[in-house]
Amino acid sequence: MSMTRRLLTLSALLAAMYAQAQDSTQSKAMDEVVVTATKYPKKTSETGKVITVITRAQLDRSTGKDLSQLLNEQTGISVNGANSNPGKDKSIYLRGAKADYTLIMIDGVPIYDATGSSSNFDFRLLPVDNIERIEILKGSQSTLYGSDAIAGVINIITRQGGGNKLISPFLTATYGSYETRKINAGISGGGDLASYNVGYTHYKTDGISESTDKANTSKFDKDGYEQNSFIANFGFKVKNIAKITPYLRYSKYNGRLDSDAFADDKDYTYNLKNLQTGIRNEFTLGQVKLNLLYNYTLTERNYFNDSLMKESPYDGYSTGYYKGKEHFIDAYVHVPILSSLSFTGGVDYRNGVTDVTTAGIYKFDLMPGVIAKGSYGSTINSDSAKQNQVGVYGAFAFTDKSGFNIEAGGRFNHHSVYGNNGVFNVNPSFLLNRQFKIFANVSTAYKVPTLYQLYSEYQNPFTALDPEKAITYEGGVQYFSTNNLVNARVAVFKRDVKDAIVFYTDPNTFANYYINQDKQKDWGFEIEPTFNFRNKGQLILSYAYVDGKVTTKNGAKDTSYFNLLRRPKSIFGATVNYHITRALFASAGVQSFGKRSDIDFSTFPSSITNLKAYTLVNFYAEYQLIKALKLFIDVKNITNTSYVEVLGYNALGRNFNAGLTVRL
């Protein structure tokens, strides 16, 4: 979409909606307090790290969205599959990095899937209704958070109990396109010594066909999805000395999927169970704070495909069982040394094991008159498929009244398979006249091999895999107007990765296994101006650009080429809202995604295909009928734009969700 068309679209939205309210998708206020940047509460004006906050107010207005759609609206993030069939897997690209280079945390605890070939977080697990706020920390962050934090960290903070009410029930009910129904209900409360929040969410949709009907036969069936989630957070205080917070999160979902791009499958099903439980403890000893965290994650996935009804040249049978367990322990302290100097340091431990069993029978037409058939199977056993990590980390933070701030730290990590590695970060910033913040960052990061890469039938037979290693350079400026009418941030980054793990086919033996080989170089920038209109509104604009290339072996030579598949080089966004009355609020937004590339595996040999740019226009409105009751409607893709997120898979057309929220 040309810049002229973008501005015309924005002008039309402004004419219709005037301006956005001060509740923002991105809170950039100078005194905003965040915890993810340093692991303890700190004002954004005192850290040079690039951080974005999705507030509770924005989450309350996102009931019609899922987590992937909400993140897909943030500057510098694209979530592939966010607007595809609801049950389809989602992949997040933060600043163009591949999905497993972004560390996802829930309440400060890294959440991994030990069963997968990558460690991607499953965004379907956590409903938006259970989230209090989200902090997005960009740049390499392995010093404080360890593996996977190459592109950044997303810390999802769940809703807790509290307040003055002992009992406060809540309910949200929605209905929408594709026979989509959602109910979220629960109860929260608290007092001086204890608090609680317990919630249950049921979600069900008929969905659409996951794969695209290339021949337009209209015979592809819908691939539905159903989920049940439960969350419980409890808090206990011992005077001003200790706070103990046990928690439990459980999610179970099932659905149908298609076998491949452009390929329908009428009997391919899956289900997943995920349990996360643990305890967070915070102790205050004078000015020293000690935090102790423990988390246990259990994931079980099952896939079953009896392909007798499959509309393709293939038929057969396949089944897959995946089970993974993760233990995480973190003990760290925050110690003020001087009025302007503090230290944060600790030790964390990670343990992961997995069991995987796959089996199948295949039969397909190799060529006219020639049928290929056979069987396959593999097993990974948790007795051997396991890994442990111990990390020791520390960081100093200096904050001076002159406006100069600097954070510097490092981590030493020991891995049970490959041995030792280390990382560091240096992050100076300067706040000039409490209006301009100039910042820079040099940081390194790493990603350890997954259990599947280490122990599957594709494990490297010659040498142990090393961690993937990265270094990120960042710089920029942020502006805060004295009257808070204008806030803006410009950030530039460069990210270099080496020893990237790739799936390799030996040209002589045709054996397949994982190796450390590729080098990845990415760079880009982000522009985020925000305009506040007193107490009436706000306009948020954003533009993000990313480019990159991989260097890999091609025979005896190195070959470099663009490889950011499914990721647009540029994304433009604009959001405007308007408080029509004290009770009536409306919002409109536009996102323009640039051209992308994908691989077409339906041809032989496979080929690179260019995907067209597209623009989506969304609308949201809510009406506070009474203090305890709110009505809302969320309409996505108003113009019913036809577009492709993933080649061979469908994207949603115009769709809506409407409902009510009750909070007593």
For residue 213, which amino acid is it? D
At residue 214, the pLDDT reads: 82
Nearest-5° angle of CA 176, CA 179, CA 185? 65
Residue 215: CA atoms inside 13 Å, Cβ hemisphere, count?
Answer: 8
Question: Looking up tokens 């950044």, which residue turns up?
Answer: 152
Residue count of the chain: 664
Number of domains in the chain: 1
The CATH number of the domain where 143 resides is what? 2.40.170.20
For residue 258, which amino acid is it? D
At residue 29, the pLDDT reads: 57
At residue 371, the pLDDT reads: 79
Are the C-beta atoms of 577 and 586 separated by less than 8 Å?
yes
The parts of the chain modelled with pLDDT lower than 50 are 1-28
Question: What DSSP state is assigned to residue 449?
Answer: P
Task: Report how far residue 460's alpha carbon sits from residue 469's, in angstroms, rounded to the nearest whole number.
Answer: 19
Please report the DSSP string for 160-216 in residue order.
---SS-S-EEEEEEEEEGGGEEEEEEEEEEE-SSEEEEEEEEEEEE----SB--TT-
Helices within 51-134 (DSSP H only): 56-60, 67-72
Q: How far apart are the first and last CA of the chain?
A: 46
Q: Which domain holds residue 175?
A: 3-663
**In terms of pTM, does the model score above 0.95?**
no
At residue 315, the pLDDT reads: 58
Question: What DSSP state is assigned to residue 463?
Answer: S
Are the C-beta atoms of 334 and 341 separated by less than 8 Å?
no
For residue 92, which amino acid is it? I
